[in-house]
């Protein structure tokens, strides 16, 4: 790890990092996809078929996120601290649609699956802040079309956001750290293989349990994110110079 100190770091995060803040993961036994079917709430077809149902699903999650009970945890805070203390640069690429990384202080952050606190007009494409419930009677402030506002999130079958920026960050990093993701969803699940095609890149998995891609990492540490992430960041910062 010391050999890489001073070089760029890319951190990929998934639902596991927000679990101890009180947000559910997707594929754990008590996860969201054990209670709701993907095809009912997280596809363009679902929105076309049952927009009210899809809005209800995201409205409930948005309401929880802004309600005050959900706060960044020690893992989010540790990553923000790393960004502030690592001159070569840290990019956090998150699959999460919550805003806990930015609330903790991360600034160089890419929301590849979108943001639940934004809405997008599927007619004109405008993206606006959204902290309230969305409904089918909503009119776009930009183009005036009614019923086209949708959560600014990436559904199954849609292209993740900012892939060019992510590719550039992956191509420039010396250390890749994957945190709290099960490695089931591409393209994020393929990032580790992408960076391993280059020499001298160190890939680390920090997760509660081995992910689907665990065997592709150089180093793995298993435990709750609020414990393993601060410890890993302290080790990185301690190894500097």
- Give the binding site for ligand APR (CB under 6 A): 14-16, 19-20, 25-28, 31, 95, 113, 180-182, 184-185, 207-209, 211, 224-225
Q: Select 29 or 200, whichever has its Cβ closest to ligand APR.
A: 29
Catalytic residue status for 113: yes
Q: Phi and psi for 30 in degrees, rounded to 5?
A: -100, 20
On whether the CB atoms of residues 187 and 20 are closer than 8 A, the answer is: no
Q: How far is the CB of 7 from ligand APR (least distance, A)?
A: 25
Long-range contacts of 216-221 (CB under 8 A, 24+ apart): 216/192, 217/178, 217/192, 219/1
Measured torsion, CA atoms of residues 80, 81, 83, 86, in degrees rounded to the nearest 10: -170
Question: Smallest gap, in angstroms, from Cβ of residue 128 to ligand APR?
Answer: 21
Nearer to ligand APR, 161 or 172 (CB): 161
Look at residue 133 and give its three-state secondary structure. coil
CB atoms within 10 A of CB 34: 12
Answer for the pair 199, 174: CB distance below 8 angstroms, yes or no: no
CB of 231 to ligand APR, least distance (A): 13
Which is closer to ligand APR, CB of 122 or CB of 184? 184
Between 44 and 147, whose beta carbon lies closer to ligand APR? Answer: 44
Q: Which of 55, 76, 113, 216 is catalytic?
A: 113
Rounded least distance, CB 76 to ligand APR, Å: 12
Q: What is the DSSP string of 67-81?
A: SSS----HHHHHHHH
Nearer to ligand APR, 5 or 36 (CB): 36
Residue ranges in 67-117 assigned as alpha helix (H): 74-85, 100-104
Smallest gap from Cβ 3 to ligand APR, in A, equals: 27
- Residue 168: CB atoms within 10 Å: 12
The catalytic residues are: 113
């Amino acid at each position: 790890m010391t050999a890489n100190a001073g070089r760029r770091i890319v951190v990929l995060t998934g639902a596991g990092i927000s679990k101890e803040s009180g947000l559910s993961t997707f594929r754990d036994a008590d996860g969201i996809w054990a209670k709701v079917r993907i095809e009912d709430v997280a596809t363009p077809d679902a929105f076309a078929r049952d927009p009210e149902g899809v809005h209800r699903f995201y409205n409930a999650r948005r309401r929880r996120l802004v309600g005050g009970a959900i706060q960044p945890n020690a893992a989010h805070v540790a990553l923000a601290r790393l960004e502030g203390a690592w001159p070569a640069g840290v990019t956090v690429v998150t699959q999460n649609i919550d805003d806990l990384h930015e609330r903790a202080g991360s600034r160089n952050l890419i929301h590849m699956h979108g943001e639940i606190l934004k809405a997008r007009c599927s007619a004109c494409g405008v993206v606006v802040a959204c902290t309230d419930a969305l409904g089918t009677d909503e009119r776009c402030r930009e183009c005036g079309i009614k019923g086209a506002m949708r959560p600014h999130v990436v559904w199954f079958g849609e292209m993740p956001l900012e892939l060019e920026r992510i590719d550039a960050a992956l191509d420039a990093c010396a250390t890749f750290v994957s945190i709290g993701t099960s490695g089931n969803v591409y393209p994020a699940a393929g990032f580790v293989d992408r960076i391993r095609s280059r020499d001298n890149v160190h890939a680390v998995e920090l997760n509660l349990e081995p992910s689907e891609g665990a065997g592709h990492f150089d180093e793995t540490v298993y435990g709750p994110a609020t414990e393993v992430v601060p410890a890993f960041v302290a080790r990185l910062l301690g190894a500097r110079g």
